[in-house]
Structure 1
Amino acid sequence: MCETEEKNQYQGACLCGGIQYAVSKIEDRMAHCHCSMCRKFHGAAFATFGEAKKENFQWLCGEELIRVYEGTNGTKRLFCSVCGSSLVFVPSNDSGRFVEFSLGTLDTPIPQRPDAHIFTQYSADWYEITDDLPQFLNGRDGKE
């Protein structure tokens, strides 16, 4: 049985529902990541992640189902061991202040919208970015 938390206005889960989480406040910064690891892990042209301060993110149930894949570059990807849903991305230089979670796993609507495309130098050749969001060859600190 999952915990419930009244103060959390946003909730999400993996595909099978075994892992559930809540977020009380989502930060404004969110991006579509086109790196090859995100593309492969999500099986899509890009992955979209939002951020929450660690104190604003809470696992409600299913933490025992979480597995971690660590890439050769030191990044970590948390996913459900039952259904494979990608849930959280942890950068190699993680400060522990933020949780980057997959927006595709949210079950409640949010007011924020993605504000950038990152790691576009690795974009799938079969996908064309057609919106007006800023595009960064690497992370946000990289060249536009």
Structure 2
Amino acid sequence: MTDHFGSCLCGTVKFSVKGEFDSFYLCHCQYCQKDTGSAHAANLFSNSAKLVWQSGADAVTSFTLPGTRHNKSFCKLCGSALPSAQMADVLVVPAGCLDTEVNMLPTAHIFLSSKAAWDEGLAEVPKFEERPD
């Protein structure tokens, strides 16, 4: 069994995930675009892994969009995305909140029908190791 560790940006919330991830989806739905402020969310899913809050559990809050299954858990101090176990059958872990390496490639892009118009031809965009001057 693999343990994964993660935290929020301000360091208040720390957690571990005990077990394996089943899938890794890059979700392009409009809800994920809104709650990440980006082209897509990068979420790991597990039907068997267990989430353990190591510290800061009282700083974790969540929001479920009314009328949907779309849920986001986050640190109420810094706003960082955090794991969510709101759906009884699946643990959803934002890949970017993990402090340990993710040893799997994304399984698939999903909800491409909602893909942002500017999320095309990104391989041609200039690349920099740090913020350019």
Q: Name the TM tier (shorter chain).
A: 0.7 to 0.9
**C-alpha displacement of 1:128:** 1.9
Report the secondary structure of 1:37's partner residue: helix
Question: Counterparts in 2 of 1:1-144, with a 5 A limit?
Answer: 9-53=3-47, 55-74=49-68, 75-89=70-84, 94=87, 96-128=88-120
State the aligned residue count. Answer: 122
Report the secondary structure of 1:39's partner residue: helix
Q: State the one-letter code of the partner of 1:76.
A: N
Report the secondary structure of 2:78's partner residue: coil
Compute the TM-score of the two structures, normalised by the length of structure 1. Answer: 0.74
Q: Is the CA contact (8 Å cut-off) linking 1:23 and 1:52 kept in structure 2?
A: no
Report the secondary structure of 2:83's partner residue: strand
Task: Assess, with a 3 A threshold, how the Cα gap between structure 1 residues 129 and 48 changes in structure 2: closer, same or farther.
Answer: farther
Q: Is the CA contact (8 Å cut-off) linking 2:74 and 2:82 kept in structure 1?
A: yes
Q: Is the CA contact (8 Å cut-off) linking 2:14 and 2:55 kept in structure 1?
A: yes
Unpaired segments ≥5 residues, structure 2:
124-133
Compute the TM-score of the two structures, normalised by the length of structure 2. Answer: 0.80
Aligned Cα root-mean-square deviation (Å) = 2.3
